[in-house]
Structure 1
Amino acid sequence: MLRDIDPILSPDLLYALRAMGHGDEIVLADANFPGESLGPTCIRADGSTASEVLQAVLSVMPLDIYVPDPALTMQVVGDPDAIPEAVADFQNIIKKTADNPAQIQTLERFAFYERAATAFAIVQTGERRLYGNIILKKGVIG
């Protein structure tokens, strides 16, 4: 055990977060996301929701302040302006926890998959809410 480190942050996830550099991206994905097949290392967090993992990740990882979109979610197919429950929850967590409380931006479904395929890692959560996926771009600590 470590002091002041959320226990949701497994050794593999802590390693990935620490190994990432400025501008690298990590995907927090729901249970339906094709995390294992996209290519990047897939870290399993089946017993946690994406919101729980987001809260834990943002407690230790800065969001990039040099880009307009350090947090990206997937657009709802057929209704790109819809805000799914999970995404609304993500925005609240970012506002409360992130050092750079950015506004979430969105990507079309297949563009999201393409971006996720270039991420440093994918964290496959047990999130069951639809569209419970977010890409985070790591910032720097001054």
Structure 2
Amino acid sequence: MLIGIPKIISPDLLKVLMEMGHGDEIVLADANFPAASHAQRLIRCDGHPIPELLDGILRLFPLDPYVAKPAALMEVVPGDTVKTPIWDVYGTLIRERAGLEAPFETVERFAFYERARKAYAIVATGEGALYANLILKKGVIS
């Protein structure tokens, strides 16, 4: 055990967060995302909701201050009427932990999949909300 590491952060996830460099991206994938087939490095966090993981990650992980939008959401497919209240939860967490007011860009579904394939790692979660996938770009520690 270590002091100050949120309990939700597994040793494997902590290792990946430490390995990542400035500009590397990590995907927090909902339960429907094809994480295993898209990941260069796959971290299993089955059963955990993304907001809890995001909160733990943001306690350790700086977002990139040198880009306009250091977080990306999967855009809702045109014509889909699903609501995305989880995005507001993410916004609140990022505002509280990173001090950013408008950190998100939205990325078309298939472009999001392509970007996820290039990410440093994908974290497979148990998140059941639709369109809950999130990409974070790592910043620097000054």
Give the alignment's TM-score, normalised by structure 2: 0.93
Higher helix share: 2
Instruction: Provide the rounded CA distance (Å) in 1 between the counterparts of 2:61 and 2:23.
Output: 12
Tell me how far 1:87 sits from its aligned partner.
1.2
User: 1:89 is matched by which residue type in structure 2?
Assistant: V
Q: Which residue of 2 aligns with 1:32?
A: 32
Structure 1 position 7 matched with structure 2 position 17:
no
Structure 1: gaps (5+ residues): none
Structure 1 position 105 matched with structure 2 position 87:
no
Runs ≥4 residues deviating over 6 A: none
Structure 1 position 69 matched with structure 2 position 65:
no
Q: Which residue of 2 aligns with 1:56?
A: 56
Instruction: Provide the rounded CA distance (Å) in 2 between the counterparts of 1:20 and 1:63.
Output: 12
Structure 1 position 116 matched with structure 2 position 116:
yes
Cα deviation digits, residues 110-138 of structure 1 (max 9, x gap): 11111011000000110001011100000
Cα deviation digits, residues 56-106 of structure 1 (max 9, x gap): 1111000001111210000111159x8611111111110111255542111
Instruction: Provide the rounded CA distance (Å) in 2 between the counterparts of 1:126 and 1:74.
Output: 17
User: 1:73 is matched by which residue type in structure 2?
Assistant: L
Identity across the alignment (%): 52
- 1:36 match: secondary structure: helix
Structure 1 position 92 matched with structure 2 position 97:
no
- 2:73 match: secondary structure: strand
- 2:77 match: secondary structure: coil
For the 8 Å contact 1:94–1:102, the answer to whether it is kept is no
User: 2:141 is matched by which residue type in structure 1?
Assistant: I
For the 8 Å contact 1:24–1:119, the answer to whether it is kept is yes
- 2:56 match: secondary structure: helix
Greater Cα shift, 121-130 or 95-104: 95-104
- 1:86 match: secondary structure: helix
Structure 2: gaps (5+ residues): none
User: 2:37 is matched by which residue type in structure 1?
Assistant: S
Instruction: Provide the rounded CA distance (Å) in 1 between the counterparts of 2:22 and 2:74.
Output: 23
Tell me how far 1:4 sits from its aligned partner.
1.3
Q: Which residue of 2 aligns with 1:43?
A: 43
